[in-house]
Structure 1
Amino acid sequence: MAKAIHTMIRVLDEVRSLDFYRRAFALDVAERLDFETFTLVYLSNADAEFEVELTVNKGRQEPYALGDGYGHLAVSVADLD
């Protein structure tokens, strides 16, 4: 059986987004991975295993439109067969 593990959302303003997810859902930074062109921020809380992954594309100036900000829903399975 597949298990949902995280969903990815592209954000323009990391600080503002972190504040929103903390206040709205009590999510805190579980892990932050900084790459040359983007940053991944994984958010979670003690009440659930599911995480929200924020992707911050460095240098992006224009806000995301509805439809191009959502990235994916990740699932995990025990066996591919």
Structure 2
Amino acid sequence: MIKGHVIHCNINVTNLEKSLAFYKEALGLEEKRRKVASDGSFILVYIGNDFDDFEIELTWLKDHPQPYELGENESHIAFEVEDMQKAHAHHEQMGCICFENPAMGIYFIHDPDDYWLEVLPKK
């Protein structure tokens, strides 16, 4: 068996600046580093926070301006928050809540490319 450490996940975005602004406002994630292809064909931006090692890699492709096909949107990234009520109120104000499950105590927000992000209370 090979043991590995999870370091990031990738999502492709159609508008890099809009996505960076969304992730900063919605979840406090900021740019950690960036790689720009020498020919301008792609830009990779790694976003994260100061207390987790895990990052999200936002990939912008020059030749893919159209929306990405996300299927049934069953894949998602989960975020644990300290103050669920405060987070919910903030996301409600942003207008990005796309699904709520009060019985489970969770809800989902969606980013500008319609990727779903689960929000759940800290255990």
TM norm structure 1: 0.76
CA RMSD of aligned residues (A): 1.1
Amino acid at match of 1:49: D
1:65 to partner: Cα distance: 1.3
1:7 aligns with 2:9: yes
CA distance in 1: counterparts of 2:9 and 2:26, whole angstroms:
16
1:59 to partner: Cα distance: 3.1
CA distance in 1: counterparts of 2:65 and 2:8, whole angstroms:
26
1:19 to partner: Cα distance: 0.8
- Determine which structure has more spread, i.e. the larger CA radius of gyration: 2
Amino acid at match of 1:44: G
Paired residue for 1:62, among 66, 84, 87? 66
CA distance in 1: counterparts of 2:47 and 2:25, whole angstroms:
12
The one of the two structures with greater contact order (alpha-carbon pairs below 8 A, sep at least 6) is 1
Q: Deviations over 1:7-30 (max 9, x none)?
A: 000000001100111011111110
Aligned residues: percent identity? Answer: 39
**How many residues align structurally?**
67
Runs of 4+ in structure 1 deviating by more than 2 angstroms, as ranges, are none
CA distance in 2: counterparts of 1:60 and 1:2, whole angstroms:
31
Q: Which has the higher strand share?
A: 1
Structure 2 stretches lacking a partner, 5+ long: 72-123
TM norm structure 2: 0.51
